[in-house]
């Protein structure tokens, strides 16, 4: 459009093209695009829908991916080791897993902080002592905590999808986004998109065209004992599902309670209607 206006002005065809109009066109062309450049595609999750449940085997694989590929940068401050029993681990397994971590405790009788092996009541320790240290170790961008990431990173679906989401109980936007981000890295940005040094182009990133985190997953990086594919696609699915559980560990109980409440409301509505009919049956209208 800008080029057409300039040509018309140059040919002098009797049209007055103001500098303000050209500036407006240039501003429109240079406006910041909406992110993500590519919206996440809804995936097939076991916990989707009003009757969905978590796949315990997938959650255990997701925990393994987190520990071996993500925990070096990302904290999970709101998840206690004891909550891992919900993933199918025994009490002894949880104790053994917690003991693999070192946590800071104290103060002791001398007023000093000390380190000790973790116990089930402890929470996953952060890989960095503070936010500033995390940012300094990652090109100035502190990696987000994984505890609530699956609920915090949601791409708006817009009209009319959000209307249908009310009835389908769609709540998988976070895992969809995480999966898309982890599998969406591209080696080269398309023409017209500038990627700063030290960042990596990913059209699925919600904060811009590129992010400071390099591709965290690669084929064969994590070994699965259950024979599941050891691919980036499978790793991304598993860790996204695990993050959903970390953000909403009581999802199954909530859905069961919601179903019972809906049945109660239907029965209660019927009783209220019948009572109304009974009370007003002999009243002349």
pLDDT tens readout for residues 237-275:
999 999 999 999 999 999 999 999 999 999 999 999 999
Cα–Cα distance measured from residue 58 to residue 240, given in angstroms and rounded to the nearest whole number: 10
CA 49 to chain centre: 17
Q: For residues 58 and 46, is the Cβ–Cβ distance under 8 A?
A: yes
Report the greatest alpha carbon distance in the chain: 90
Cβ atoms of 244 and 150 within 8 Å: the answer is: yes
Is pLDDT of 161 > 90? Answer: no
Q: Supply the pLDDT for residue 281.
A: 81
Cα–Cα dist 15/18, whole Å: 9
d(CA 58, CA 76) in angstroms, rounded, equals: 18
Task: Tell me the C-alpha distance between 243 and 86, whole Å.
Answer: 14
Taking only the tens place, the pLDDT of each residue in 74-119 is 999 999 999 999 999 999 999 999 999 999 999 999 899 999 999 9
Examine the pLDDT at 9 and tell me if it is beyond 90.
Answer: no
Region 110-137: mean pLDDT is 94
Residue 32 has pLDDT above 60, yes or no: yes
Burial string for 59-95 (b: 16+ CB within 10 Å, else e) reads bbbbbbbbbebbbebbbbeebbbbbbeebebeeeebb
Listed by start position, the domains of the chain span 1-31, 35-78+145-268
Q: How confident is the model at residue 15 (pLDDT cuts 50, 70, 90)?
A: very low
pTM of the model: 0.83
In this predicted structure, the answer to whether residue 151 has a pLDDT above a threshold of 50 is yes
CATH architecture classification, 35-78+145-268: Orthogonal Bundle (1.10)
């Amino acid at each position: 459009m800008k080029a057409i206006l300039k040509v018309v002005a140059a040919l002098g065809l009797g049209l007055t093209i103001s500098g303000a109009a050209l500036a407006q066109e240039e501003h429109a062309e240079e406006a910041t695009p909406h992110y993500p450049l590519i919206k996440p595609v809804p995936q097939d999750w076991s916990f989707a829908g009003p009757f969905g449940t978590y796949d315990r085997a997938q959650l255990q694989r997701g925990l393994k991916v987190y520990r071996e590929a993500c925990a070096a940068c990302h904290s999970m401050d709101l998840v206690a080791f004891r909550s891992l029993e919900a993933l199918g681990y025994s009490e002894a397994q949880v104790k053994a897993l917690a003991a693999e971590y070192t946590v800071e405790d104290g103060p002791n009788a001398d007023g000093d902080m000390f380190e000790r092996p973790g116990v089930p009541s402890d929470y996953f320790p952060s890989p960095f002592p503070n936010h500033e240290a995390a940012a300094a170790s990652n090109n100035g961008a502190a990696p987000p905590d994984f505890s609530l990431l699956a609920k915090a990173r949601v791409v708006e679906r817009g009209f009319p999808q959000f209307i249908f989401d009310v009835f389908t109980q769609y709540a998988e936007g976070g895992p969809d986004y995480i999966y898309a981000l982890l599998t969406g890295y591209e080696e080269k940005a398309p023409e017209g998109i500038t990627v700063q040094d030290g960042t990596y182009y990913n059209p699925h990133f919600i904060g811009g065209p590129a992010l400071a985190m390099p591709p965290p997953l690669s084929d064969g990086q994590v070994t699965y004992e259950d024979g599941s594919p050891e691919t980036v696609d499978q790793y991304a699915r598993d860790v996204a599902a695990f993050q959903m559980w970390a953000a909403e560990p009581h999802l199954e109980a909530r859905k069961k309670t919601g179903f019972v409440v809906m049945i109660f409301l239907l029965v209660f509505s019927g009783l209220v209607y019948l009572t109304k009919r009974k009370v007003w049956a002999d009243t002349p209208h």
